[in-house]
Structure 1
Amino acid sequence: MIVGDTVRSRKRRALLLLLTPITLVLGIFFLIPLGIMVTYSFLEPGLYGGVEWNWYPYNYGRILGWPLNDYEEFEPIYLAIFFNSLKIACLTVFCSLLICYPAAFWVSRMSPRRKNFVLFLITLPFFANLLIRIYAWLLLLRPTGFINTVLQSVGLIDQPLDMLFSSFAVILGMVYIFTPFMFLPIYANVEKLDYSLVRASQDLGATPIQTFLRVILPLTAPGIIGGAIIVFIPALGNFIVPAFLGGSKVQMTGNLIERSFLQSRDWPFGAALALLIMGSVVLLLVFQLVRASRLEARRPA
């Protein structure tokens, strides 16, 4: 009994020793900045920028309509921009899924040598700076860019297409950037797919659509959900792609946060906007955790 307690005590100390570094990193670089943002969101904006250390919950009123005082007004444009950000993030997830889901099956059936080469190509964009890749899309999408030049030269269009500084350009840019984040979780799930279950479904007379909906899709759903969450979270708060490819015509919440901190120096309002995005992400994650736990509870032992 004493030996067992000693072993458990050693394991507990070893686990504590292993968890201490990551706990310190999270505490210093995540929890402390998050606490600062929460605090700033309830402080009064300074007259010349920064914050005044006075209780001021009315920053949220400008976004949500409550609470408000005599100096703040509800501005629906902020909610409109937030919902536009949600729409663009969801479309980014959907388009990335359309590309990555069939591609994951295609890559998984390759020989090991070709598979490794394709996986290297998928991760290759990470070796280039993000700004350089966005500038490349600027050159491709502008009226005198490569795409319009090719389309005009083959006679498909008479006038250049107005692709730049639009929601289309923003979604295209974000799909390009976040495609590897969608592909890798799906591929990891597809790689482990038990094809004997697919063959059994076919032997029992299921049509290809029934096999996909009842066998393949449920088995690969964890990869789809994981990839969707990984893409949705950064897409919702992204500000670099809308700033370059959307210009002033496409505004997302990330652009509002950037301007609040760097241009208007309204730090409390920028913090409130940032927490609105974070709250939306947390609700999404909680919903997914609850859904996953319910499915696990229904699964037979």
Structure 2
Amino acid sequence: MPLTVATKRRLVTAALVGPASIWLFFFLVLPFIAIIVFSFGERAPEGGYQAAFTFAQFANLGSRAAAFVNTLILAPIGAAACLFVAYPVAYYLAVKTSPQRRLLLVSLVVVPFWTSLLVRTYAWMYLLGARGIPHLLELFGIENIRLINTPGAVLLGIIYGYLPLMIMPIYVSLEKLDHRLLEASADLGAKPLSTFLGITLPLSLPGVMTGVALVTILLLGEYLIPQLLGGGKVFFIGNALVDLFLQSRNWPFGSAIAVTLVAVVVVVLLVAMRIAWRVAGTRQVDLV
């Protein structure tokens, strides 16, 4: 009996989607289910997981309130700072440069990703340390300036590390912008600021929201930058997870924090999508 066209299409779809679905199930869904199970357990006497069913781990989340507060404050601030720096750069690349120069400049934006974030963060440790910028300031009579191991150092590292991830989505939105709309607005007598607020900014909002959501979600789990530039004094949720899983070996409590972090990420994503949809009207907004 020959297969129908619909059956063939379903088989082709299953063949294309099946391998990725199996991969995601075994390496994403199952580990997360294990984390959820661990979060309701207890710490074994020698460390690790001991089977139980208790909400004590979630009730104890307040003991890591500093990590949650630092993360939920510095992550949005870092994303906003990246946006403040990235939008003018993306606008210049997409609107103000010629196609020949654009390729070179976009490549320069991506070049830092060719080097490990660890190496680049160590470079900032030197620049912000006693022999870096503070030493140069002392030559001008400005003494006792502490830059390293501060929230400001962490924020600077966040902007540097995540700026390309904010620039590229905004650049893609602006690069697709129909320049005839800008020309028509100018021909009708609109001032540059009115054109930007009425045409450019609304049409680029999908890219803005994509960049903000992407950077914020990644920052919620950030570990390296707070550890190196914060010196252990600026604690993120990622630092708490490393401490609980690798040092304290309190897997149930670490799992409870991880589950809470995932819930926060989902809420952030849903809120970002809702805001983008409301602001952008009926235009399609893709954040993931």
Q: Give the alignment's TM-score, normalised by structure 1.
A: 0.87
Superposition map of 1:1-301 within 5 A: 6-63=4-61, 75=63, 78-108=64-94, 109-145=96-132, 147-153=133-139, 155=140, 157-291=141-275
Residue in structure 2 matched with residue 68 of structure 1 by the alignment: none
**Equivalent pair of 2:241/2:254 in contact (CA under 8 Å):** yes
Superposed CA deviations along residues 75-100 of structure 1, whole A, max 9, x for unmatched, are 3xx23431221111111111111111
- How far is 1:205 from its partner? 3.5
Report SS of the residue matched to 1:159. Answer: coil
* Gap regions ≥5 residues in structure 1: 64-73
From the superposition, tell whether residues 25 and 197 of structure 1 become closer, same or farther in structure 2 (CA, over 3 Å): same
Which one-letter code corresponds to 1:41 in the other structure? Answer: S
Which one-letter code corresponds to 1:135 in the other structure? Answer: Y
Superposed CA deviations along residues 182-233 of structure 1, whole A, max 9, x for unmatched, are 1110110010112222233333343333222221111000000000111011
Separation in 1 of the partners of 2:92 and 2:6? 47
Separation in 1 of the partners of 2:205 and 2:280? 14
From the superposition, tell whether residues 297 and 179 of structure 1 become closer, same or farther in structure 2 (CA, over 3 Å): closer
From the superposition, tell whether residues 152 and 295 of structure 1 become closer, same or farther in structure 2 (CA, over 3 Å): closer
Separation in 2 of the partners of 1:112 and 1:54? 62
- Structure number with greater CO (CA < 8 Å, separation at least 6) is 2
Separation in 2 of the partners of 1:292 and 1:151? 43
**Equivalent pair of 1:185/1:227 in contact (CA under 8 Å):** yes
Stretch moving more, 87-96 or 6-15: 6-15
Q: Give the alignment's TM-score, normalised by structure 2.
A: 0.91
Separation in 2 of the partners of 1:296 and 1:213? 13
**Equivalent pair of 1:60/1:272 in contact (CA under 8 Å):** yes
- How far is 1:286 from its partner? 2.1
Stretch moving more, 124-133 or 252-261: 124-133
From the superposition, tell whether residues 13 and 293 of structure 1 become closer, same or farther in structure 2 (CA, over 3 Å): farther
Report SS of the residue matched to 2:148. Answer: coil
Report SS of the residue matched to 1:54. Answer: coil
Alignment size in residue pairs: 282
- How far is 1:160 from its partner? 4.6
**Equivalent pair of 2:66/2:235 in contact (CA under 8 Å):** no
* Gap regions ≥5 residues in structure 2: 284-288
From the superposition, tell whether residues 295 and 17 of structure 1 become closer, same or farther in structure 2 (CA, over 3 Å): farther
Residue in structure 1 matched with residue 286 of structure 2 by the alignment: none
From the superposition, tell whether residues 168 and 26 of structure 1 become closer, same or farther in structure 2 (CA, over 3 Å): same
Which one-letter code corresponds to 2:93 in the other structure? Answer: V
**Equivalent pair of 1:144/1:160 in contact (CA under 8 Å):** no
Report SS of the residue matched to 2:52. Answer: strand
% same residue: 35
